[in-house]
Amino acid sequence: MRVRDALGPLFTDEDFTTGEFEEMYADLGRPGISPALLAMVTVLQFLHNLSDRDAAVAVADRISWKYALGLELEYTGFDASVLCEFRARLVEGDRADALLTVMLERLKSAGLVRSGGRQRTDSTHVLACVRTLNRIECLGEALRMALEEIARTSPGFIVPLLKEGWDERYGRKVETSRLLRRKNSSATRLAEQIGADGRSLIAAIDTDPDAAWMNGLPQVKILRELWGQHFEATATGRLRYRDTKELPPSAQRVRSPHDPDARYSTKGRPGADSVEWTGSKSHLTESCDEDLPSLVTDVHTTPATEPDVTAVTPVQDRLTARDLKPGEHLTDSGYPSGPNIGASLERGITPIAPVTVQTGRGAHDGTFTPKDFHVDWHSGVTRCPAGATSISMRPKKNGLIRVAFSRADCRPCPIRAQCTTAAPHLGRSLEIHPEPIHTARMRMQAEQDTPRWREAYRARAGIEATISQAVRGPGLRRSRYRGLAKTHLQNVLTGMAINIRRLGTHFDTTTKPDRRPTRIHTLCTQHDIPTAA
């Protein structure tokens, strides 16, 4: 209600007639419910973490919602299924990001967000809306889903394929049938049996010209992909169940046929602090200027296996397109890299993040690393800590520059043991980034030891509170939907809900009572007890 009083409506129906929303609704037929109304209801739904039915009831019952939505008190609401249909339209294309852009345009015109300020980014894991399955359960469930979908439309195609044991293996969800708990059961034998059953279905589809349309079914596509990942045809024509070491990398493996976009990943060092999950990853970016409220300016969703370093360029591209390019971008040590540091500087954005220049073996055994070498880019010569100069500086195919030193200088060097662990007859060599990136990395690493940098970087910690708020309120870490596109929509709506919550706090002018002090604090104050010895 306070946001409505201060800013008016955040969305209008005209916003949904141009840009990414131009083809969201058809021109023919009966007019639908106002998209601006549904957009605001959806944001409020995520603000209070409500289901579709509860949100529809809130529109009809809560006076505060009607005030915020600009509705009459007599408004009776709409059916809950309308919200699901509206989200299905938002999932298509880039409409989720466009909806956040519309909100940010309103906030930018009100002076609540601005370009050239300070922004911070961090990520968190998001669990997929699926059960965790082992390899055999995943294969069996994929085959069951394909059989179920084909049997729904063409049962006559399935009947000739039915064999003894199919009802036991595929008559119900595989994870509930407990096939491996049967007497004399074998995991390898069961996997090979499921593989043979799946191959017979794929062969039947390939040999029947009238069944070609089945290849377009999502369940059949997933079936073929999983069989290619987990089985291998032998010379005798049989299927061999691949060993775990032979499987594709985790970024390519399908973990559940119910959500083919979900990926398995781990975060942190093995032990109590590590996190293992199957799903995706969400990156939240918010403004953090001292004179303005901290508001979410971008939401980026990636597969769980993608490292944080890949998110910097897409986030900055969208911020620039929204005319919200930050002057300073604060991140943790997982985001900066040589290429995106250079790209940020070219955009006029100053990255503020811990940079590790000591890489390779030297970072762990105490030997000299690239930061200990002085590079003279003008003359193309690098000087080592002992004073010797390089004999060559040549670019490599991967974009780095290889610096080599002479064996005649390295063999008798008194500090060779601190410089390289190579064979005695070899000289030292190292790889560095090109001049702009190398210079920026060295400068950023030198600044990390200054009090000024530590004071500026202290502002990054606030993004962790934002993630905590998104987890405790809208439930960011548990996806409501399946598929990366729908999960991204949920993450965007969560960021918009946080903005509404913070704007309401920003516009709250009521005086809050002071927190009651503890009795010990009161006694120490009354008797003039110093706070420190």
Under 8 Å CB-to-CB from 442, ≥6 apart: which residues? 357, 371
Q: How many CB atoms lie within 10 A of CB 241?
A: 19
Alpha-carbon Rg for the chain, nearest whole angstrom, is 30
Cβ–Cβ under 8 Å, residues 9 and 36: yes
Task: Give the pLDDT confidence of 237-285 residue by residue, as tens digits.
Answer: 788 999 989 999 999 999 999 999 999 999 877 666 788 999 999 999 9
Both tokens of 300, joined, read 């980026």
Look at strands 328-330 and 118-127 and give their pairing.
parallel
Of 16-30, 180-194, 306-320, 439-453, the least confident = 180-194
Task: Give the pLDDT confidence of 482-516 residue by residue, as tens digits.
Answer: 999 999 999 999 999 999 999 999 998 887 778 88
Look at strands 275-287 and 296-303 and give their pairing.
antiparallel
Both tokens of 490, joined, read 């949920």
Task: Give the pLDDT confidence of 142-201 residue by residue, as tens digits.
Answer: 999 999 999 998 999 999 999 888 888 888 887 776 666 555 467 888 888 999 999 999
Range picked from 64-68, 372-376, 445-449 for highest mean pLDDT: 64-68
Under 8 Å CB-to-CB from 378, ≥6 apart: which residues? none
Residue whose structure tokens are 């190398």 = 438
Cβ–Cβ under 8 Å, residues 277 and 111: no
Domain boundaries, the chain: 2-92, 117-130+277-355+448-533, 135-246, 362-444
- Pick from 356, 372, 364, 383: nearest CA to 421: 364
**pTM, two decimal places:** 0.85
Residue whose structure tokens are 């549904």 = 38
Task: Give the pLDDT confidence of 104-146 residue by residue, as tens digits.
Answer: 999 999 999 999 999 999 999 999 999 988 899 999 999 999 9
Whole-number pLDDT of residue 179? 66
Both tokens of 509, joined, read 């002018």
Rounded-to-5 percentages of helix, strand, coil across the chain:
50, 15, 40
Whole-number pLDDT of residue 358? 54
CA-based torsion, 437, 438, 441, 446: positive or negative: negative
263 φ, ψ (degrees, to nearest 5): -130, 150
In the predicted structure, residue 30 carries a pLDDT above the cut 90: no
Residue 387 DSSP SS3: coil
Fold that domain 117-130+277-355+448-533 belongs to in CATH? Nucleotidyltransferase; domain 5 (3.30.420)
Residue 249 DSSP SS3: coil
Q: How far apart are CA 468 and CA 473, in angstroms?
A: 8
Range picked from 23-27, 315-319, 370-374, 401-405 for highest mean pLDDT: 315-319
Query: What's the angle, vertex CA 266, arms to CA 263 and CA 267, rounded to 5?
Result: 130
Mean pLDDT over each residue of the chain, to the nearest integer: 89
Whole-number pLDDT of residue 361? 47
Of 8-17, 87-96, 224-233, 391-400, the least confident = 391-400
Confidence of residue 23 (pLDDT cuts 50, 70, 90): confident
In the predicted structure, residue 532 carries a pLDDT above the cut 50: yes
Whole-number pLDDT of residue 398? 78
Largest CA distance in the chain: 94
**Amino acid letter, residue 75:** Y
Confidence of residue 528 (pLDDT cuts 50, 70, 90): confident
Residue 437 DSSP SS3: helix
Percent of the chain at pLDDT exceeding 70? 95
Cβ–Cβ under 8 Å, residues 294 and 470: no
Task: Give the pLDDT confidence of 219-245 residue by residue, as tens digits.
Answer: 999 999 999 999 998 888 788 999 989
Cβ–Cβ under 8 Å, residues 264 and 249: no
Task: Give the pLDDT confidence of 417-438 residue by residue, as tens digits.
Answer: 888 777 877 888 888 888 888 8
Report which of residues 81 and 379 the model is more confident about: 81
CA-based torsion, 105, 111, 112, 117: positive or negative: positive
Cβ–Cβ under 8 Å, residues 320 and 285: no
Task: Give the pLDDT confidence of 337-370 residue by residue, as tens digits.
Answer: 888 888 898 899 999 988 875 544 444 455 777 8
